[in-house]
Amino acid sequence: MGLALVLEDLTWSFQPDGAPFLRIPELRIEAGTVLAVGGPSGAGKSTLLFLLAGLETPTGGHIYWGSEDVGTQRLSRRDRWRRQNLGLVFQDFQLVPELTALENVLLPLTFTSFRVSGPDRQRAADLLARLGVLRPQARASTLSRGEMQRTALARAVFSRPPVLLADEPTASLDAGNETAVADLLLEYSRDHGATVVVSTHQAPLRDRADAHITLGHGTLEGTK
């Protein structure tokens, strides 16, 4: 099941006491919602996602995922929360090029255990096959862009996290792959009740989301 998201008086600035670059007084998203975040480049979409992922510390305010305030937790607690609850997808895929597609999917498992079990390997291979990556043993650097993003998506959803964050996941893809990856994101939310936050400036993906907000100059300009 997904987690509900509540933002309260969230601010973030580049310097600790500088003018806020991002300011969101209030935002409430129900569990299982697909939320699209729109807005021009530099409006703070990536920064918002990094804050939601607990990779940045807010200057002020709260970020509640369910009952956990990710914004004020200690760093080690945040690492663990991220490991257990979050799948991340990036615009530029962020795979480890020297590892195979399969190893990229399994890599997060090695953060906590020394051995990767046979069933986990099988499940990762099945997942890749289902997402359309047909060469799981190929080095990530030899995959096509579409295959790379599908591998990155497989890595993000492998542990069935209740929250999936995607930063412009389709911006680097051709039209065919754009639709396919968007399908997969929506399908994951539908099948597992996961909350998905996806930043995008592409209308098709935005229109298919349950809700969308638009950021402009660091503040909310519109919601649906």
Partner 1 sequence: MNPLWMVLADLRKTLLASLGILVLLAIAFSATVAVSLFERSLRQAGADSAKDFDLVVGAPGSRLDLVLASVYLRTDEVLPLLPFEVVEKLQGDPRVARVSPLVFADHFGDFSIVGVGADFPLLRPALKLVSGRWPAKPFETVAGATTHLPLGAEFLGSHGVVARSGVDEEVHRQAAYHVVGILAPTGTPWDRSFLTPYNSIWLLHETLEPNPTPEERAAIRKVSAALVKPRDFAAAYALRAEYREGSTTAAFPGEVLAGLFSLFDAVRTTVSLVNLVFQALVFAAVLLSLLAGLPSKARWIGLLRALGAGPGYVFLTLWIQAALVFLAAGLTGALVGWLGAQALAGFAGGQSGLALAVGWSWTETTLIMLFWLVGLIGALVPAVAGYRTSVRRSLLGL
Residues in touch with partner 1 (CB under 8 A)? 46-47, 50, 53, 55-56, 75-76, 79-80, 82-84, 86, 88, 90, 94, 96-99, 103, 107-108, 110-115, 155
Q: Residue 74: phi, psi to the nearest 5?
A: -70, 155
State both tokens at 139. 């080095």
Q: Which among 90, 108, 88 is positioned nearest to 99, based on CA atoms? A: 108
CB 134, min distance to partner 1, A: 22
Q: Which is nearer to partner 1, 80 or 208 (CB)?
A: 80
Between 89 and 209, name the residue whose CB sits nearer to partner 1.
89
Residue in 134, 165, 137 with CA at minimum distance from that of residue 150: 134
Nearest CB to partner 1, comparing residues 42 and 222? 42
DSSP assignment letter at 28: E
d(CA 128, CA 137) in angstroms, rounded, equals 11
Say which amino acid occupies 152. Answer: A
Contact 27, 220 (CB under 8 A): yes
Q: What is the smallest separation between the CB atom of 31 and partner 1, expressed in angstroms?
A: 21
Question: Which residue number, 108 or 132, has a Cβ lying nearer to partner 1?
Answer: 108
How far apart are CB 223 and partner 1 at their closest, in Å? 25
User: Please, what is the minimum distance in Å from the beta carbon of residue 111 to partner 1?
Assistant: 4
